[in-house]
Amino acid sequence: MEEENPEIRISDLKIAYIHTDSVINNYTYFVERSSEIAEKGKRFEGELSNRAKGFEQEVANFQKSASTMTMNQAKAKEEELVSKERNLVSYRDNLMKELSADENNLYNEVYDRIQTYLKDYAKENGLEMILSYTRGGGVWYANDAMDITKSVSEGINKAYASAKSTPEKEEPKAEK
């Protein structure tokens, strides 16, 4: 009886590797989206700074005028300021959560895009496996001849540029 999945001998395996961080950091899509997130962060920082300055000014005004207020007026103003401070802290936390979520979503999307690209790349180049080479990762040594980082980086950027210039198409398949 013939087996459907013939055994692959280890000497017949065609394996390559990429420096994952290099592929990610050189991926134009990642660079563009990271810049957008950084700009969003700067906008958030500016908004937060403006709100904080306004709050600080309001506190300073209260401190100047507190002596002319009745006890009830001063207590009411203190409670209002405490509430505004809580809202400011909550606003800051929400901005940070949004930026963090944007970054996590970007990394997930980039990993998915790279994985999809690598599947096509492996198929087109007759590879059974593409390893991720990162310092402290699972691969401690690999022959430089197996390093396809440059080829993958160029190919995925070419595919992204092509998809970007023709939005109705999906990103093209891997190129050799």
Burial of 133 (0-12, 13-18, 19+ CB in 10 A): buried
Q: For position 10, what pLDDT does the model report?
A: 62
The pTM of this model reads 0.77
* pLDDT in single tens digits along all 176 residues of the chain: 444 556 666 667 799 999 999 999 999 999 999 999 999 999 999 999 999 999 999 999 999 998 899 999 999 999 999 999 999 999 999 999 999 999 999 999 999 999 999 999 999 999 999 999 888 888 888 889 899 999 999 999 999 999 988 865 555 556 55
CATH superfamily of 10-165: Skp domain (3.30.910.20)
Cα within 13 Å of Cα(91), Cβ side = 16
Q: For position 134, what pLDDT does the model report?
A: 87
